Amino acid sequence: MGTAALAQRRSGLIVPPEYADRRPAFACNVCGSQFPNEQRAVYERHVGECARAHEAEILAMRPSVRLKGGPFDPESWDPEAEAHMRKVGERMLREGRMEVKPAERAGF
């Protein structure tokens, strides 16, 4: 008895041999579709089509768009908040901690 048959027997699942090794080898990061190893060409064609169909969603997930208005956005730079957080950072280094206390956040 081979190792594949043993694995099937131990798990309690009975899988026909033609489907035993058809685990998904490729997955689309946009829609989640999965493709077995034999369908590499289908997967590659799907990824291109899927990316074109969901281009607006993909562009909206870019960090420059997703983090707009956050503390790392150059357009919303606040010199007072930066000075405060630098002082907090120096205090954290002196105290040997890696977390900002809730009272130190200054509205962030």
Instruction: Please check whether residues 108 and 88 belong to one and the same domain.
Output: yes
Among positive and negative, which fits the CA dihedral 97, 102, 107, 108? positive
If phi > 0 it is left, if psi is from -120 to 50 it is alpha, else beta; for residue 12 that is left
Q: Is 80 exceeded by the pLDDT of residue 107? A: no
Is residue 51 domain-shared with residue 30, that is, in the same domain? Answer: yes
* pLDDT at 72 > cutoff 90: no
Confirm if 24 and 36 have CB atoms less than 8 A apart. Answer: yes
Query: Does the reported pTM lie above 0.85?
Result: no
Backbone φ/ψ region at 28: left (φ over 0), alpha (ψ -120 to 50), beta: beta
Regarding whether 86 and 52 lie in a shared domain, the answer is no
Q: Does residue 17 form part of some domain?
A: no
> Are 77 and 108 within one domain?
yes
Token pair recorded at residue 96: 């040997």
Q: What is the extent of the structural domain holding 81?
A: 70-108
* 9 falls within a domain: no
Q: Is residue 83 part of a domain?
A: yes
Domain count, the chain: 2
